[in-house]
Amino acid sequence: MARDEQPIDEATLRLVVGPRRTDRFVDHMKLAQATGRTIGWNWAALIFGGYWLTWRRAYGEGWFLFALGLASSYINGSLGALAWLVVHVGAALFGDYLYLADVRRRVRDATILAADPADRDRRLAAHSGSGWSGHLVAMLLLVPLSGVIRLLFFDPIELDWLLVRHI
């Protein structure tokens, strides 16, 4: 947390996090705000990476992880597997921190734009919790984007195995 930032109160955290796994995230975020801790562990972030962040409506952070994962998938051999593992373990270690950063941004933006506290809460509630919309958009865009990148930037000879007939 930046030195000039005020901690977000529990009621606001609960409003932004929404009804799914609220206690876990609120407790973690309160601890992170109090101690400045940035490392934790999140199994969903380990397994799903950027998809987990888009599910939580942290779209910028989710797309950042998608970009890292996509880049690591184009590294060949064991170095590529290691890069993929580093991206996913990094997501597990810093996923909650990335989510808290997104929550802070949402609260800050809603506070700046709101006419009064009730308006701020309405704005936060409208974009709180988790949801399928951004998550589905991410899934529908990422697969074709990955294919286009592979075709544009990688030698088609690498894809010869698709054309080889096994006799």
pLDDT tens string, the chain, 167 residues long: the values are: 555 578 899 999 999 998 888 898 899 899 999 998 889 999 999 999 888 998 899 989 998 998 888 888 778 778 888 988 999 999 999 999 999 999 999 999 999 999 999 999 999 998 888 877 777 887 788 778 777 777 777 655 555 555 555 55
User: Cα(61)–Cα(124) distance, rounded to whole angstroms?
Assistant: 18
Nearest to 137 by CA among 45, 50, 47, 22: 50
Task: Please tell me the pTM assigned to this model.
Answer: 0.78
Asked if 63 and 138 touch (Cβ cutoff 8 Å), the reply is yes
User: Cα(105)–Cα(163) distance, rounded to whole angstroms?
Assistant: 49
How many other C-beta atoms lie within 10 A of the C-beta of residue 97? 18
pLDDT (0 to 100) of residue 140? 82
Nearest to 130 by CA among 65, 51, 12: 51
Range list of H helices, 114-131: 117-126
Half-sphere exposure of 71 (CA within 13 A, CB side): 10
pLDDT (0 to 100) of residue 157? 52
pLDDT (0 to 100) of residue 84? 87
pLDDT (0 to 100) of residue 101? 93
| Cα 152 to Cα 45, 133, 146, 147, 149, distances in angstroms | 30, 29, 10, 9, 5
